[in-house]
């Protein structure tokens, strides 16, 4: 659990904020030098998401999505704006959100809100989102803050809405990364936190065709 590897919570968050302030506001910067995997990532995410957007009695709507840890809007631009009428973005780094306004181009007019905030302090507006997408950012939250944030996400969902987490998974336990001040959890730990937040897992999938040297990446859908 993060309580075993995060010695000072304030330092954990402030170090991460400082790290991201120095990262270039580019796709390559967002992906830690792995910008070339962006299309593989987006294509897999689109296939995963579309299974919930298909026709049916419990179909997830396409009115509004929230991009959490949005950075410059890589996911907003290529995954969410093509599928949803409007999108909101939240990120702790103001420079990234400023860059997003030019990076998103014309379609960026459909981004309703740019929230500059850490997820530990962010509350999605209740009953507002069809999809809350949380990618490569849960490692910047302690277990308690992640569980509490997911509870707030649950109240932010519209009927048949889903929360999606896509992130790195450790082989075993919880691993601290001192460089960007984040943790990487194993699958069991993440599933426990999801359950603790009162969410029910609908689907889980391992990302294919990523470089061998990086962590395994999994996508979870829940409500």
Closest Cα to residue 21, out of 123, 90, 91? 91
Distance CA 136, CA 101 (A): 21
Nearest CA to 218 among 180, 187, 184, 183? 187
Neighbouring C-beta atoms of residue 28, cutoff 10 Å: 13
Residue 202 assigned to a binding site: no
Ligand-binding site membership of 207 (annotated) = no
For residue 58, give the DSSP letter: T
Question: Residue 55, annotated ligand binder?
Answer: no
Binding residue per annotation — 91?
yes
Rounded alpha-carbon distances, angstroms, from residue 28 to 38, 47, 137, 199? 9, 23, 16, 33
> 80 a known binding residue?
no
Report the alpha-carbon distance of residue 58 to residue 111 in Å, rounded. Answer: 26
Q: Is 120 annotated as a binding residue?
A: yes
Please give the C-alpha separations between residue 126 and each of 68, 130, 157, 172, 190, in angstroms, as whole numbers.
15, 11, 7, 35, 24
Binding residue per annotation — 171?
Answer: no
Q: How many C-beta atoms surround the C-beta of residue 65 within 10 A?
A: 27
Question: For strand 201-206 and strand 216-222, is the pairing parallel, antiparallel, or unpaired?
Answer: antiparallel
Please check if 135 is assigned to a binding site: yes
Query: Parallel, antiparallel, or unpaired: how do β-strands 157-169 and 129-135 relate?
Result: parallel
Q: Is 181 helix (H, G, I), strand (E, B) or coil?
A: coil
Please give the annotated binding residues, written as ranges.
69, 74, 91-93, 119-120, 135
**Which residues belong to the annotated binding site for S-adenosyl-L-methionine?**
69, 74, 91-93, 119-120, 135
């Amino acid at each position: 659990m993060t309580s075993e590897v995060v010695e000072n919570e304030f330092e954990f968050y402030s170090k991460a904020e400082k790290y991201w302030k120095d990262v270039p506001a580019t796709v390559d910067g967002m992906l830690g030098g792995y910008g070339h995997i962006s299309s593989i990532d987006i294509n897999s995410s689109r296939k995963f998401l579309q299974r919930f957007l298909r026709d049916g009695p419990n179909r997830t709507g396409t009115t509004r999505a929230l991009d959490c840890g949005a950075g410059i809007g890589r996911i907003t631009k290529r995954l969410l704006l093509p599928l949803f009428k409007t999108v909101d973005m939240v990120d702790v780094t103001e420079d990234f959100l400023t860059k997003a306004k030019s990076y998103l181009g014309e379609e960026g007019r459909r981004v309703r809100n740019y929230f500059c905030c850490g997820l530990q302090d962010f509350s999605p507006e209740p009953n507002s989102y069809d999809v809350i997408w949380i990618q490569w950012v849960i490692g910047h939250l302690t277990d308690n803050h992640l569980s509490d944030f997911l509870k707030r996400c649950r109240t932010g969902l519209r009927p048949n809405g889903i929360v999606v987490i896509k992130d790195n998974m450790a082989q075993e336990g919880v691993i601290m990364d001192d460089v960007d001040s984040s943790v990487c959890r194993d699958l069991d730990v993440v599933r426990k936190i999801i359950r603790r937040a009162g969410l029910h897992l609908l689907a889980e999938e391992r990302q294919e065709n990523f470089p061998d040297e990086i962590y395994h990446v999994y996508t979870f859908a829940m409500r």
